[in-house]
Amino acid sequence: MITKLDKETLGQIRDAMNDVLKELNSIGVTATVGLIKYGAGGFTMTINGSLLECENGDSGAKVEFERVARALGIPTTWFGKKIQTSRGVATIIAIEPRKRTYPIIVQLADGRKMGMAINSVKISHDV
């Protein structure tokens, strides 16, 4: 039982909630816990989700990437592209336009995610 909120207990809450959210896969939705804000006696969290498959057969993440990429003038073919980064091979998985400096989100081989600048992606080597 959790009796205080700190980074350690919030990690436990995040892990437990992500386990619960995996149940949504059975209805075609993927969801994960996003930002958690907390105080002495309570917390709020965001949940990020997308469709596993859209009507056209593409994943929800790919459809969203293509929509945002067109608006920003970024090639839609970047989704799923593997590139070499300073931290190893990474796969482009999303665009977050609110992150002006590092809007391209990549996932590293170990599962960690990081943002990259558009110009960094343009000059990176394909893998």
| Domain residue ranges of the chain, discontinuous segments joined by + | 7-51, 60-123
Report the residue count for the chain.
Answer: 127
Contact 29, 51 (CB under 8 A): yes
- What span, in angstroms and rounded, lies between the C-alpha atoms of 127 and 90? 9
pTM over the 0.85 mark:
no
Strands 104-108 and 113-116, by their bridges, are: antiparallel
CB contact at 8 A, 104 and 95 = yes
- Tokens 């992606």 belong to 121
**pLDDT above 70 for 127:** no
> 57-112: per-residue pLDDT in tens?
777 788 888 988 988 888 999 999 999 988 899 999 989 888 889 999 999 988 88
Strands (E), 43-86: 43-51, 82-85
